[in-house]
Amino acid sequence: MFDFDIVTSWFNGLLTGFMPQWAATLIECVVIGVIVLLVYALLALFYILYERKLCAWFQCRLGPMRVGRWGVLQVFADMFKILIKELICLKGTDKFLFKLAPYIVITSSVTMLACLPWGKGLQIIDYNIGIFFILAVSSVGILGILLAGWSSNNKYTLIGAMRSGAQMVSYELSLGLAMITIVCLAGTMNITEIVAEQDKAWFLFRGHIPAIIAFVIYLIAATAETNRGPFDLPEAEHELTAGYHTEYSGIHFGFFYLAEYLNLFIVSGIASLMFLGGWMPLHIPGLDGFNNVMNFIPGPVWFLAKAFFISYVIIWFKWTFPRIRIDQMLSFEWKYLMPIALANLVLMACFVAFGWHF
């Protein structure tokens, strides 16, 4: 596999060759920041189109068709429009919090995006507690949603925010437990090492029974974490008009919209890193010829393909399943999902202790 460390070290060497270390670091930070934001925006736009096209196909329709070939420019039209829409700030709202909320949501999701490795050496920071950091940052996003709901001074948004709080706090547990199951198998929280461990075979296959259970739990909890159907209660369109962002217009609404789609990518990305080997190609032990061919496909392509596939599944849920009710959702989590996740963790610990995995 091509190691991106070579590129980044070369760039660092180039800069430090003619300027002091601090200036080089500063420039690197700026470049990385710009790249992250750019990738963020492009990915979000891609995801919006991806979902619109997919749901159109589920529903025997065509989806956007008129701008650009196959409607690929549709999202750019939306972006231009939403950028120039009026920003409404209402009387009686908590103006500071009202304006702050979308930025909290988007910051949290940008930070999470920055933690994902896209290929070997193609990452910003290689934390030794990477998984833990991602979990911690993802909880910050809830704050934004709660604030948005509260500061709008609207009963619908308040109900949406409360639902969102209850939902995210609950499902974070299962999400964490499913991830810990894999951490238990991998023996590390460092994302690079987790991926490297999957060189021989992906964790989904290596850990077989407990890993598959963890994968299913993760998918369900991730769907809930991203507020997508059937868990889209915080913005349940047919109950709360638009949920917590009812009162937001223009680009403030755009931030929520972007963050929603990017969170979908992030949870799919994490799933691909933890269960499907991230940027690691598909390796089948014993078939060396096949493995060599797979190695020619670059890491980022693998990573994106896996993430898009998982997103596809989550989008499929959204457009097919009816919305779950709040009490059903909570009892599902606390009565079924979390106990199963806990038991699964014990199971995985046994598997690891007795070496029953591959």
Partner 1 sequence: MSDIKNIIGKICPEAQFTDGDILEVTVPDMVWHPLAEALRNTKGLEFDLLSAVVGMDWKENFGVVYYLTSTVRNWDMLTVKVIAADREDPMIHSVSDIWGVANFQEREVFDFFGIKFINHPDMRRFFLRNDWVGYPLRKDYDASPELNPIRLDDEINEDDTCAYIEQPDGSIVKEDRKVFGPDEYVINVGPQHPSTHGVMRFRCALDGEIINKVDIVSGYIHRGIEKLCESLGYPQTLHFTDRMDYMSAHMNRHCLCMCVEKALGIEVPKRAQVIRTMMDELMRISSHLLSFGCAAMDLGATTAFFYGFREREQVLDIFEKTCGARMSMNYNVIGGVVADLHPDFRKDVKALIEIMPERLKEYHKVFTGNIIAQNRMKGVGILPKENAISYAITGPSGRGSNFSCDCRKKHPYAVYDEVDFDEVLLDGCDSFSRYMVRMKEIEQSCRILEQLVDRIPEGEIRAQVPKLIKLPVGHWYQQVEASRGTFGVYIESDGGKTPYRMHFQSPCFNLVGAVDQCTRGLMIADLITVEAILDFVIPDIDR
Partner 2 sequence: MVMKEPKIKSMSRSDFKDNEYIDQLVEELNATGANVMVGMFDDLINWGRANSLWPFCFGTSCCAIEFMCLGAARYDMARFGFEVARNSPRQADFIMVQGTIVHRMAPVLRRLYEQLAEPKYVIAAGSCAVSGGPFKNSYCVLPGVDKILPVDVYMPGCPPRPEAMFYGLMQLQRKIKVQKFFGGANRKEKREDFFREHPEERGLI
Report the interface residues with partner 2, using CB under 8 A. Answer: 52, 56, 59-67, 71, 73-74, 76-82, 84-88, 237, 241-242, 245-250, 253
Which of partner 1, partner 2, none has residue 160 at its interface (CB below 5 to 8 Å by kind)?
none
Q: Which is nearer to partner 2, 123 or 227 (CB)?
A: 227
Nearer Cβ to partner 2, position 52 or 206?
Answer: 52
- Maximal C-alpha separation, the chain: 68
Q: Which of 199, 292, 320, 336 binds partner 1 (CB under 8 A)?
A: 320
Identify which of residues 91 and 354 has a Cβ nearer to partner 2 in the complex: 91
Q: 141 and 109 in contact (C-beta within 8 Å)?
A: yes
Nearer of residues 95 and 335 to partner 1, judged by Cβ: 335
- Look up residue 150 and give its two tokens: 């509260």
Nearest to 225, CA basis, from 300, 174, 160, 152: 174
Residue 276 touches which member of partner 1, partner 2, none, C-beta under 5-8 Å by kind: none
Number of neighbours of residue 317 by Cβ within 10 angstroms: 15
State the binding partner of 88 from partner 2, partner 1, none, CB within 5 to 8 A by kind. partner 2
Using the rule CB under 8 A, is 54 a contact of partner 1? no
CB nearer to partner 2: pick between 60 and 353: 60
Please, which residues have CB within 8 angstroms of residue 91's CB and are 6 or more apart in sequence? Answer: none
- Of 21 and 320, which CB lies nearer to partner 1 in the complex structure? 320
Residue 59 touches partner 1, criterion: CB under 8 A: yes
Q: Which does 52 bind (CB under 5 to 8 A by kind): partner 2, partner 1, none?
A: partner 2
**Binding to partner 1 by residue 91, rule CB under 8 A?**
no
Show Cβ contacts of residue 275 under 8 Å, excluding neighbours closer than 6 positions.
182, 202, 203, 204, 211, 214, 215, 218
Positions 222 through 241 that interact with partner 1 (CB under 8 A) = 229-230, 232-233, 236-241
Question: Which residues lie closer than 8 Å to 35 by C-beta, 6 or more apart?
Answer: none
State phi, psi for 128 to the nearest 5 degrees: -85, -10
Q: What is the DSSP letter of 334?
A: I
State the minimum distance, in angstroms, from the CB of residue 154 to partner 1.
10
For residues 155-169, one letter each, b for 16 or more C-beta atoms within 10 angstroms of the residue's C-beta and e for the rest, the string is ebbbbbbbbbbbbbe
Q: Does 336 bind partner 1 (CB under 8 A)?
A: no
Residues with Cβ within 8 Å of residue 318, at least 6 apart in sequence: 55, 223, 228, 229, 230, 232
End-to-end CA distance of the chain: 23
67 binds, among partner 1, partner 2, none (CB under 5 to 8 A by kind): partner 2
DSSP code, position 243: G
Query: Does the footprint of partner 1 cover residue 61 (CB under 8 A)?
Result: yes
Is residue 85 involved in binding partner 1 (CB under 8 A)?
no
- What character string, x for contact with partner 1 (CB under 8 A) and - otherwise, covers 106-145? ----------------------------------------
DSSP letter string, 139-153 = HHHHHHHHHHHHHTT
Q: Which amino acid is at 229?
A: G
- Residues engaged in binding partner 1 (CB under 8 A): 55, 58-61, 155-156, 159, 163, 229-230, 232-233, 236-241, 319-328
